[in-house]
Homo-oligomer: A and B are copies of this chain.
Amino acid sequence: MTETAATGADVPLAEVLRGERVESLHCGSVAVVDDTGGVVLALGDIETPVYPRSTTKALQALPLIETGAADHYGLTEPELALACASHGGEPEHVAIARQMLGRTGRDEGSLECGVHWPTNVAASRALAASGIEPCALHNNCSGKHAGFICTACAENIDPTGYIAPDHPVMRRVTQTLAEMTGVPHTDANRGPDGCSIPTYAIPLRALALAFARFGTGRTLSADRATAAGRLRQAVAAAPFMVSGTGGFDTLVMQELGTKAFTKIGAEGVLIASLPQAGLGIAIKCRDGALRGAEAAMASLLRRFGGADCAASPVLQSLTRKELRNWNGIHVGDIHAAAGLNDSR
């Protein structure tokens, strides 16, 4: 049944409690859409374009398979998963990114994503302790960028400048995003992402539709449906590659395998594919906080993801996470807003 709240008004996504008191509140929008574009749940504004940021990485990886590059280089499931990842820069992630580049005879010097310290705090400290400076392989987007480079090199296209909107690889990636979301991707809705590739603002409804289609493969060409299925299989087989230790996407897919695909993005965007239910979910936490989007998504997965999701202890723990202070004392909780799990 379709449920629509007043468009334009953000709804509560998650509350942060200290003791018994609500200390902070996250609000935003939610779209749950089927693979024909039918809106199953709309909370808040799902039409005003938002930047999807890293939530679309799996869509951006489709050309890696569709062009034949993945087969040309014999990419493994961990490599395909890393192409869809915002990873923590842990040693396993760095090794796989290096391996992907090595297949093209290249190294981190070809990456154009920039350098940052591992987002995984323990990995960052370990790197500092080893006296080694980070390189572009540690950038959380290095797998995606390595995938772009593989896509270029397999077709003998010079990968230099692959981050620019008019590079042949980026043009194909952008075309794929437009086809999957059904929304034009032009100069008018383009913004710069953290890793220097373009990101295109689109309605939350269109983002959810893209991931409903990514999940079921219905309404896609046979080749695209096969490519999407291969990526879903890869992330389910190697969920550690998608984020890493303690990451939301890794935790969810370690538990649920192919039953749920999720992907975080910067500034509080989070998507899911639920292949069995035939649904895509997209959340934008208005203030940009992932903690709010994550609690909300865990709740929505339990509501819409069927029996496996409803019974999942991991999803339950992500719906209501304990907060502990520096002495390990339980001081409060982050929990999804009650209204999200309301199936009226």
Contacts and interface: CB of A to CB of B under 8 A. Distances in A.
A25 interface: yes
A192 B286 CA distance: 28
Nearest to A195: B326
Given A18-B267, A21-B191, A113-B326, 11 more contacts: A16-B288, A24-B267, A114-B325, A114-B326, A115-B326, A117-B121, A125-B128, A128-B129, A196-B326, A287-B287, A287-B289
Nearest to A124: B125
21 contacts: A16-B267, A18-B51, A18-B192, A18-B199, A19-B192, A23-B267, A24-B267, A24-B286, A24-B288, A114-B325, A114-B328, A116-B326, A117-B121, A125-B128, A128-B129, A129-B129, A191-B331, A191-B332, A195-B326, A287-B292, A289-B289
A113 B21 CA distance: 22
Contacts of A199: 18
Contacts of A196: 325-327, 329
A131 B129 contact: yes
Nearest to A199: B18
Contacts of A19: 190-192
Interface of A: 16, 18-19, 21, 23-27, 49-51, 112-117, 121, 124-126, 128-129, 131, 139, 190-196, 199, 201, 267-268, 286-289, 292, 325-329, 331-332
A148 to B, nearest CB: 15
Nearest to A194: B325
Given A191-B18, A196-B327, A286 B201 contact: no
Contacts of A128: 124-126, 128-129
A126 B127 CA distance: 11
A199 B69 CA distance: 58
A194 B267 CA distance: 25
Nearest to A326: B114
A192 B19 CA distance: 7
